[in-house]
Amino acid sequence: KDVNDDARYVISRSMYESDRIQESEVAKCNSDKINEVWVPTDFNVDSFKSSGVKSSKLFQIGEGIDMYNTWNPALYTNKSDHSVLAKLGLENTKKGWNLMSLFKFERRKNWKGLLEAYLSEFTSKDDICFFLKTHEGWEGNPETWIKDYLGKLARKKIIKSKTLPCIYLIDSMIDADELPALFAEMDGFLLPSHAEGWGLPAMEAMAMELPVAVTDWGGVTHFSSGYSERASTKDPYGRFKGGYAIKVEKLEAAFDNPSKGYWAVPSVPHMKQILRHMYEHQEEAKASGKLGRQKVLKYDRSAVAKDILRSFNEIYTEIVRPSTTGLSKSSSRASSPKSKGI
């Protein structure tokens, strides 16, 4: 977008899901009109830098949510008073253990891998139900695509249509202020995306003390399994404080287009292994979920706001205030090392 020429200092807030950004975006970031580029994760610090963005312009500032007045399980101790499932006519659908996912319906979210893992690992004999909350994205109507894909899995004998486990598609709109109540009705959360710039639904799930199963790659690792930790390689179930990290089989061109970078292909067999473990070790998963909330509390929006204000104050005191003749667009403060921000 055009930058106001009267602006004395310009900050671009940006993120990208794959491991690189396109040359046109690199040029914008390196433009003299942009002083700093704020990205949410160390993953993006590296991906932007390796794409050609000047390291001196890159700063890591995390995302934030309201951890106390909104995404707080203590507000939903009496779940029947806040039942979103009841409002949707699904009040009698829950099983002994209930799993959910939340995402916009698009290829990047790896909904095919998610469905294959769950539907081929469990059967109607298992006391489990999966609630898939999604809405129409780039690929169109979710129900049409899902039915077609399930037919393909059945024809390949990957799943058995007559013994499928409990699963419900929720594609109706739910008010944002009711989403925490939906999370509160669940026991686990799954987000096996090919790529995430941040992975907000996973952080929301961790804030609600749900154990999460997430891809061990990309932006989501910043607050979950650890960007440089590779938890999935150190434990059979990829256990970390807050959940389970799904192994990556390989990287492939995003949207089959190498110019858009590469993203992860999560292992379906390992995803199945993790889901089965979570289901059969529910107390362990529950305890991990409680640890997860403590882990992400530092991303409460008040803490992130303080980090932003601290950066603004540095910019003002180091650059803007000392300037008496106008600020050159090429002026900037020294780039901070990765993870100096939150």
Give the Cα separation of 99 and 119 in Å (integer): 12
Residue 65 DSSP class: B
At residue 285, the pLDDT reads 98
- State the DSSP H helix or E strand holding residue 22, giving kind and residue range, or none if neither: none
Residues in CB range of 248: below 8 A, 6 or more apart: 215, 216, 217, 232, 264, 265, 266, 267
Give the Cα separation of 193 and 216 in Å (integer): 10
CB atoms within 10 A of CB 249: 13
Residue 300 DSSP class: B
At residue 323, the pLDDT reads 63
Single pTM value for the model: 0.92
Kindly report the backbone phi and psi dihedral angles of residue 82, in degrees, each rounded to the nearest multiple of 5, phi listed first: -125, 20
Closest to 208 measured CA to CA, from 294, 272, 140, 103: 294
At residue 8, the pLDDT reads 82
At residue 329, the pLDDT reads 45
Encoded tokens for 140: 């169109």
At residue 105, the pLDDT reads 94
Encoded tokens for 4: 């106001």
- State the DSSP H helix or E strand holding residue 59, giving kind and residue range, or none if neither: strand 58-60
Give the Cα separation of 330 and 332 in Å (integer): 6
Give the Cα separation of 15 and 24 in Å (integer): 15
At residue 326, the pLDDT reads 53
Type of residue found at 19: D
- The domains located in the chain, with CATH, are 1-62+300-341 (no CATH), 73-299 (3.40.50.2000)
Sequential pLDDT tens for the chain (342 residues): 566 677 788 999 999 999 999 999 999 999 999 999 999 999 999 999 999 999 999 999 999 999 999 999 999 987 666 689 998 989 889 999 999 999 999 999 999 999 999 999 999 999 999 999 998 877 778 999 999 999 999 999 999 999 999 999 999 889 999 999 999 999 999 999 999 999 999 999 999 999 999 999 999 999 999 998 999 999 999 999 999 999 999 999 999 999 999 999 999 999 999 999 999 999 999 999 999 999 999 999 999 999 999 999 999 888 767 665 555 544 557 665 554 556
Give the Cα separation of 120 and 135 in Å (integer): 24
